[in-house]
Chains A and B, each alone.
Chain A
Amino acid sequence: MFDPYKVREDFPILKRKINDYPIIYFDNAATSQKPKQVLDALREFYEQHNANIHRAVHTLSQEATEIYEEAHEETAKFINAQDMQETIFVRGTTEAINLIAYTWGLQNLTEQDEVLVTLMEHHSNLVPWEYLSKLKRFQVKYIDINDDGTLNYESFENAMSRKVKIVCVTHVSNVTGVINDIKKIAKTAHDYNALVLVDGAQSVPHMPVDVKDLDLDFLAFSGHKMLAPTGIGVLYGKKDLLEKIEPFHGGGEMIKKVSFETATRRSLITWNDLPWKFEAGTPNISGGIGLMFAIRYLKQAGMENVKDHEERLTEYCMKRIKECEKVKVYGPQTVASKCGIVPFGMKGLSSHDIALFCDSFGIMIRSGYHCAQPLHEKLNLSSSARASFYIYNTREEIDRFIEVLKEIEQTA
């Protein structure tokens, strides 16, 4: 049975006090804390198996290679990919999206094409496409959102046409926690022969995600938001698509053969197999291993349990926060189709003031735009404060949070 109090014992940082208060970490949408199982795995790797992977014949390299490849396999299984060839390790969600923009996008998009994004995207799923559109002269079109922050599916249907070559959409909004109906979006996009790239940064850590069931072409997510170290993330892509795409970075590891042709005085290059074709240079080996142990931890907890736990916390927080007279919750007012994120404001205080006050009481929340400025503008918000939950958070922490918000209200 899932027990958040038992889970907490695995997270050393949660024993810390900040400003003499026990730490309450509600900034999980930005990054998660790391369990000792992941920390121990990193130490074990560096103390016992550290070496560069592939090609070397010595024992340490073979061990490091085996663990690193196992990490790819474990990741592939976690999202129900066909096999590890479909899981490319990158630095994080941002790099994964940029990889697709600067490989598939650069190689395939033309002036006649359109790329669809939504107004609720994190900047990492907007900026690469806007930037690339300046080079390739395709159009970036925006799917609208409703006043409650949910996606306007009518706007999406209306925007779809044969000109659209890729739909880039977040699974879960990092500001409102709104869960988009990705299956429906993918079905419609595929009806028009468009591809679907999903930003899974806020979904993969918090709920079961099955790339086959959702029929995704590409999925990007970050390890650090799901108990793994920073600097490791994943790009999932359907094998047939990845095989057709020319690589992004050139260098070692991503080639099978480089032979110098005397007649032409050029090097002939044969790309390596997937996923290594996209992993040039020495990769983040320990990060990949950390990700594998994070995935094992989440699997043991059970992703359905993780989702249920966060839903219950969100529901409880949304209910109790109504006791705060000056607080307004932004986005959907119910937890239906919403993840463990509660964005809010307080009359008379800026979001940064709320966050700084909370910090004084050892409560870590986020403030600002959360890298989603178009969404804030659409909702007429100058900024927002954001509490976001994960597996180690408890109802008691929410009680304390509400108590502190009420105290802050006195100064507002």
Chain B
Amino acid sequence: MSAQVQDYVASIEEACGEEKDFIVIFRHDKKDEAISKILKKAKTEKSTSRIAYELTFKDTSIRLYGTGKAIFRQLKRKEKLNELLTELLL
């Protein structure tokens, strides 16, 4: 992951029990900026009064939470997540 993307990301958890879902937790001081950038680039399918946004980006389903956390669903490998984050955040 590039240093610029790392600036936004506090941690990434690979969800146990789910098929290759990744939970991305954005840095607290950068979360609003990250949310704003992601919302600009991804397609919003559904939103729940700023609590969560159901998004799609390049055939990937993402649920983005207003708390600065996001689930990237069913990615085959972590490198793919890094690619998506790079495109969404930079």
Contact = CB atoms under 8 A, between A and B. Distances in A.
Contacts of A382: 17-19
B21 A350 contact: yes
A368 B52 contact: no
Interface stretch (B32-40, B61-69, B76-84): B61-69
Given A357-B51, A360-B51, A411-B52, A352 B67 contact: no
A356 B69 contact: yes
Given A360-B52, A368-B17, A353 B67 contact: no
Interface string A277-320: 00000000000000000000000000000000000000000000
A19 B67 contact: yes
B79 to A, nearest CB: 21
Interface residues of B, number: 18
Given A352-B71, A359-B69, A369 B63 contact: no
Nearest to B65: A356
A351 interface: yes
Contacts of A356: 23, 52, 63, 65, 67, 69, 71
A202 interface: no
A383 interface: yes
A19 to B, nearest CB: 6
A411 B63 CA distance: 11
B67 A350 contact: no
Contacts of A350: 15, 18, 21, 71
B48 interface: yes
B16 A368 contact: yes
A351 B23 CA distance: 12
Interface in A335-378: 350-353, 356-357, 359-360, 367-369, 373, 376
A369 B51 contact: no
A351 B16 CA distance: 10
Contacts of B19: 382
Interface residues of A, number: 20
A306 B19 CA distance: 38
Interface in A182-228: none
B18 A383 contact: yes
B48 A411 contact: yes
Contacts of B46: 411
Contacts of B15: 350, 352, 368, 383
Contact of A359 (B16, B48, B67): B67
Contacts of B69: 356, 359
A301 B28 CA distance: 38
A376 B18 CA distance: 12
Nearest to B73: A350
Interface string A39-81: 0000000000000000000000000000000000000000000
A341 B66 CA distance: 28
Contacts of B16: 368-369, 373, 383
A359 B23 CA distance: 14
Given A350-B18, A383-B16, A360 B67 contact: yes
Nearest to A351: B17
Interface string A371-400: 001001000011110000000000000000
Nearest to B23: A352
B66 A353 contact: no
Contacts of A376: 17
B65 A360 contact: yes
A61 B69 CA distance: 48
A359 B25 CA distance: 12
Contacts of A367: 17
A411 B51 CA distance: 11
A362 to B, nearest CB: 10
A356 B71 CA distance: 9
A352 B65 contact: no
25 contacts: A350-B15, A350-B18, A350-B21, A352-B21, A352-B23, A352-B71, A353-B71, A356-B23, A356-B63, A356-B67, A357-B51, A359-B67, A359-B69, A360-B52, A360-B66, A368-B15, A368-B17, A369-B16, A369-B17, A373-B17, A382-B17, A383-B17, A384-B17, A410-B48, A411-B48
Given A368-B16, A381-B17, A384-B17, 13 more contacts: A19-B66, A350-B21, A352-B15, A352-B21, A352-B71, A353-B63, A356-B69, A357-B51, A373-B16, A383-B15, A383-B17, A411-B46, A411-B52
Interface of A: 19, 350-353, 356-357, 359-360, 367-369, 373, 376, 381-384, 410-411
Q: Lowest 3 A-B CB distances belong to which pairs?
A: A383-B17, A368-B16, A369-B17
